[in-house]
Amino acid sequence: MVREIRIYPDEVLKQRADEVKEFGKEIKELVQDMFETMYEKGGVGLAANQVGVLKRVVVIDLHSGKEKQGKEQMVFINPQIVEERGEVVQEEGCLSLPGLYKKVKRAAFVKVKAQNLEGKEFEVEAEGLLARALQHEIDHLNGILFIDRLSPLQKRLALEKFKKLKRKYERKTASKR
């Protein structure tokens, strides 16, 4: 089921998500819904609080093209960055800030420890787009948006631009109903 994406300044986006302790049907359904929502909206990653659920769950599929969707689904439950190295500045966007793109500084390499759908721990080392997506989505779980990583002036300008984009987005989504 496709869920509603929470749009800035929705308060749930600023809250820290709770650790997942039970790995049952509810989490599996949430993950399935998150993938469906992410594909519907054209994203490559999604955190549970972006669909209004304060659980530490992230889904990622770097292949957003329709023909490859679902081929490389990754699920990270209770993820945490345990190592990071280097630095890279690249443009980012966010499904919760539709249409807004800004350059953000992130680590070039991350090692992330997480659990899978059965609760089994695993680690992944990542560079490139996967490293960026992991950092972006884990930030969401901590109540941090990519605009929070900008300088105060850059953030203010980005939010002024987003107000205009949001009105356009709201008109577009209202016309689809």
For the segment 17-49, what is each residue's pLDDT rounded down to a tens digit? 999 999 999 999 999 999 999 999 999 999 999
pLDDT bin (cut points 50, 70, 90) of residue 177 is low
Domains, the chain:
11-176 (3.90.45.10)
Task: Report phi then psi at 162, rounded to 5.
Answer: -65, -35
* pLDDT (tens digit per residue) in 112-132: 999 999 999 999 999 999 999
26 is catalytic: no
Write down the catalytic residue from 87, 137, 160, 170: 137
